[in-house]
Structure 1
Amino acid sequence: MKRFFDLVLAVLAALVLVLPVIVIALLVRLTSPGPVLYWSDRVGRHSRIFKMPKFRSMQIGTPAVATHLLNDAKVYLTPIGSFLRKSSLDELPQLWSILVGDMSFVGPRPALFNQDDLIALRSKNGVDELVPGLTGWAQVNGRDELPIPEKVKLDLEYLQRQSLGFDIRILWLTFVKVLQRDGVSH
């Protein structure tokens, strides 16, 4: 049922968002050199690595680490990068990952391939059994501001409580947080 929900919602979202996606792609291309999309190596279900697309919000050559680990992340942002990140518009290409089954709309956010502490703690708690999500319970409860043990605690709570109703609640809370630009540090 969850996969069917993801597919229907992803197709509908793609149809509705086709024009904004084209406009954002053009803006990324016109405001900084390099490709429109950044394909990030992420950890998926059962700790399998997959390529996750995002609109590129950082300059070419930015180290492949979690943004909070950069000395001054603002230095690496493209001219529209801050806007893309704060509005979460950089995440729109992840509809592709949902369509191909690497991601779901709701689940733990996929870890970067080199976030060994997060990956290990998720594996230890069985959270790696979940398909990663565009948004998740940890996302609506702190996003960038949560320490890793707290993220994993919330991911585990999602694992234990997951249902279509809970997913819809998380999607609604995500919509509200995005509108408020809540929990985004860059």
Structure 2
Amino acid sequence: MKRFFDIFSSLCVLLCVLPFFLIVAIAIVWDNFGSVFYTQKRIGLNGKEFGMYKFRSMRVDADKIGPYFTSVNDPRITRVGQFLRRTSIDELPQLLNVLLGHMSVVGPRPNVAQQEELYSPVSWKKRNTVKPGITGLAQATKRSSATFEERENLDLEYVDNHNIIFDLKIIFMTIKQVVVKGGN
């Protein structure tokens, strides 16, 4: 049921936003010439690595001049990128990851491999027993303000309690967060 929901919802949203994708692509290239998409290696179901898609929000050479995480007022983020991140539009290409089966609409956000050292082996293994999501319980409740511990606890709570009704609740909570508080 969850896979059907993921495919159906991601296809519907992609069809609705396809013209918008073109506008975003033009804005990204206009602001900082280069690729429209950014692919980053992330950890998925059962610890398998996959390429997660995003609209590029940073300078083309960003990964050569900084760490895997961003900071407040990070100079690597472009002007268009600031808007994309604030509105979470940069995450929309992950709908393609959902169609490919790498991600789900709802689940813990996928980590980069370097983040494994932050978790206990038990927590790391447990959070990777479900597909990572475009949004999750941590994003729906705390947005980007969650501490690592809060995010870990919320991710593990999701793993323990996930079902289609809980997923729908998280989707509506996420929409409310984005509309009321803005993106990241």
The alpha carbon displacement at 1:149 in A equals: 2.0
Aligned length: 180
**Match for 1:28: what amino acid?**
I
**Match for 2:96: what amino acid?**
W
Determine the structure 1 residue equivalent to 2:146: 146
**Match for 1:66: what amino acid?**
F
Could you list the per-position Cα deviations for residues 15-59 of structure 1 after superposition, in whole angstroms to 9, with x for gaps in the alignment?
111111111011111111221001011111111110001000011
Determine the structure 2 residue equivalent to 1:22: 22
The alpha carbon displacement at 1:178 in A equals: 1.1
Cα distance change on mapping 1:119 and 1:29 into 2, 3 Å: farther
Confirm whether residue 65 of structure 1 aligns to residue 68 of structure 2. Answer: yes
Unpaired runs of 5+ residues, structure 1, are none
User: Taking every aligned residue pair, what percent have the same amino acid on both sides?
Assistant: 36
**TM value normalised by structure 1:** 0.90
**TM value normalised by structure 2:** 0.91
| Aligned-partner Cα distance in 2 for 1:136–1:19 | 27
| Aligned-partner Cα distance in 2 for 1:151–1:118 | 12
Cα distance change on mapping 1:118 and 1:96 into 2, 3 Å: farther
Could you list the per-position Cα deviations for residues 115-136 of structure 1 after superposition, in whole angstroms to 9, with x for gaps in the alignment?
2334556325x11101000000
Confirm whether residue 123 of structure 1 aligns to residue 124 of structure 2. Answer: yes
Confirm whether residue 11 of structure 1 aligns to residue 14 of structure 2. Answer: no
Deviates more, 1:73-82 or 1:83-92: 73-82
Determine the structure 2 residue equivalent to 1:173: 173
| Aligned-partner Cα distance in 2 for 1:12–1:31 | 29
| Aligned-partner Cα distance in 2 for 1:182–1:6 | 24
Unpaired runs of 5+ residues, structure 2, are none
